[in-house]
Amino acid sequence: MKKILEMKNISKEFPGVKALSGVNLTIYHGEVMALLGENGAGKSTLMKILTGVYQKTAGEIYLNGKLVKFNSINDSQKAKIGIIHQELNLIPNLTIAENIFLGREPINTFKKIDWNKLYSEADQLLDLLNMKISSKELVINLSIGQRQMVEIAKTLSLDAQIIIMDEPTDALTDKETESLFKVIRSLRSQGKSIVYISHRLEEIFQICDRATILRDGQFIEEKEVKDLDQNEIIEKMVGRKISEQFPTVKVKKGNVALEVNGLTNKFVKNVSFKLQQGEILGIAGLMGSGRTELAKTICGAIKKESGEILIEGERVNISSTQEAIKKGINYVSEDRKKDGLVLGLSVKENMSLSSLKEFTNQFSKIDSIEEEKVVDYYIKSINIKTPSKNQLIKNLSGGNQQKVCISKSLMCKPKILILDEPTRGIDVGAKKEIYDLINNLKKEGLSIIMISSEITEILGMSDRILVMHEGRISGELPENEATQETIMSYAVGIKEEK
């Protein structure tokens, strides 16, 4: 196979962190190369070096055999390398089309933007991605999944020869993922090359030709996907064998911790359910089915219009997240960058943000010794990879940022924990750690609601599953009756309980 790009012996050092040392990556003509590794292995960093966002400390990059140097993303774009970053970079108050062609708007002879052309070309791109939405829609109104598709459309519009996708399916529904794969296959047949980063290993077997595996910033190996199996990949990524993903944890359920009756507003319709102590309630459904809105309504971030919420049998009135936390309900958002983290603060400051009250004495002074002790405990116990607790959170890899978000909630010692896509962007090893953590919390009698689009995860973890469709609960399944098929049929609304 023809090599079109080679990265050789790439090293990258950040102050206090050796992110990459001597990594190789080869990109072949008309192939999809998987780039695999745990959180913090250096995948995103390697891609940022390739696209000129970061400068490498050592190593060479050859494009079609010629030594090249990219000083900025502009340089790499000129060389027809496009990237879809893990963090989305869209401007919310512009339309989809304006975002796609930002800085490259088609203009007529009088320098006026040719709006018709702009929107028709954008619509074509969306069509290609099977997106049934007008390109005149504002990005602010889109779900994360739809935004991801817009990013992809933007890269396609650049006519790139090499397209890097950093966890593109992270926030996509199965359907959207399928359309994306179709696009990837057609790009591949046009002779384009793709670097594909994902923590969903099953996708690697569906779409990738070869895989390059990194561990702790080191190159482990490059192999054809057909010569690999899932266990081998995991072992090489993690450096050890991983025990069973979803061990069954039996816990005697306690009293009803949370009861929701007829909860209704713009997003959710007449939702009722009960949650017991020591129970994990899974909430499945398609993107946009109202799962996140349900969670946000329960925790006071969205107003309810009618219905009631009872905590341990007592009717409560929750009108802000602050009150929810006081009453023992904690919500971990699906969108960590927008709703979860303060990027300019350190790991420590982010982790203690919700529970800072616990660490303040009567003179409202923060007891930093106590604060650091607890922060250190969580960094260690759920294995957050960071050079120090004072590192800025924005310098952590995506998965480690997610762990900080979860720790932030745990530090409030909640009675009811709502986890919205808790393992989004998290590697296999860390997923297992998060699952163990959730199971341990369950053993301690915590009540957990877990929203997830990963059906295996919902099936593996939940004691009971609610399926949502268009803001309603379309089905409730006990653990032993739930299968992928039944969940899907409730989720798409083919089946509905009455």
Ligand X SMILES: Nc1ncnc2c1ncn2[C@@H]1O[C@H](COP(=O)(O)OP(=O)(O)OP(=O)(O)O)[C@@H](O)[C@H]1O
The amino acid occupying position 303 is K
Q: Spell 394-404 as b/e; 16+ CB within 10 A means b.
A: ebbbbbbbbbb
Q: Which of 8, 11, 14, 218 binds ligand X (CB under 6 A)?
A: 14
Provide, rounded to whole angstroms, the least separation between the CB of residue 264 and Mg ion. 39
CA distance 300 to 443: 27
**Contact partner at residue 22 from Mg ion, ligand X, other proteins, none, CB < 5 to 8 Å by partner kind:** none
320 binds other proteins (CB under 8 A): yes
Q: Which of 356, 387, 436, 479 binds other proteins (CB under 8 A)?
A: 356
364 binds other proteins (CB under 8 A): yes
Q: Contact letters (x/-) for ligand X, 26-45, by CB under 6 A?
A: -----------x-xxxxxxx
287 binds ligand X (CB under 6 A): no
Q: Which stretch binds other proteins (CB under 8 A): 44-52, 246-254, 276-284, 319-327?
A: 319-327
Provide, rounded to whole angstroms, the least separation between the CB of residue 136 and Mg ion. 32
End-to-end CA distance of the chain: 57
Quick check: helix, strand or coil at residue 19? Answer: strand
**Contact partner at residue 345 from Mg ion, other proteins, ligand X, none, CB < 5 to 8 Å by partner kind:** other proteins
Comparing CA positions, the residue from 59, 121, 102, 52 lying closest to residue 81 is 52
- Looking at residues 191 to 230 of the shown chain, list those that interact with ligand X (rule: CB under 6 A): none
CA distance 453 to 151: 20
- Residue whose CB is less far from other proteins, 366 or 492: 366
451 binds other proteins (CB under 8 A): no
- Looking at residues 299 to 318 of the shown chain, list those that interact with other proteins (rule: CB under 8 A): 301
Q: Which of 53, 73, 129, 366 binds other proteins (CB under 8 A)?
A: 366
**Contact partner at residue 280 from other proteins, ligand X, Mg ion, none, CB < 5 to 8 Å by partner kind:** none
The amino acid occupying position 283 is I
Provide, rounded to whole angstroms, the least separation between the CB of residue 399 and ligand X. 3
- Residue whose CB is less far from ligand X, 152 or 491: 152
**Unique residue bearing structure tokens 């009631």:** 308
Beta partners for residue 329, in sequence order:
416
**Contact partner at residue 267 from other proteins, Mg ion, ligand X, none, CB < 5 to 8 Å by partner kind:** none
- Residue whose CB is less far from ligand X, 76 or 99: 76
Beta partners for residue 281, in sequence order:
449, 464
Q: Is 453:173 a contact under the CB 8 Å cutoff? A: yes
Tokens encoding 305? 């219009």
- Residue whose CB is less far from Mg ion, 19 or 441: 19
CA distance 200 to 203: 6
CA distance 382 to 372: 15
The amino acid occupying position 179 is S
DSSP label at residue 247: -
Instruction: Dump the DSSP string for 336-364.
Output: IIIII--TTSBHHHHHTTTTGGGGB-TT-
CA distance 166 to 399: 13
Q: Is 168:176 a contact under the CB 8 Å cutoff? A: no
398 binds ligand X (CB under 6 A): yes
Provide, rounded to whole angstroms, the least separation between the CB of residue 396 and other proteins. 15
User: Applying CB under 6 A, which residues contact ligand X?
Assistant: 14, 17, 19, 37, 39-45, 86, 385, 395-399, 427
User: Applying CB under 8 A, which residues contact other proteins?
Assistant: 301, 320-322, 324-326, 331, 333, 338-345, 349, 353-354, 356-357, 360, 364-366, 368, 408, 412
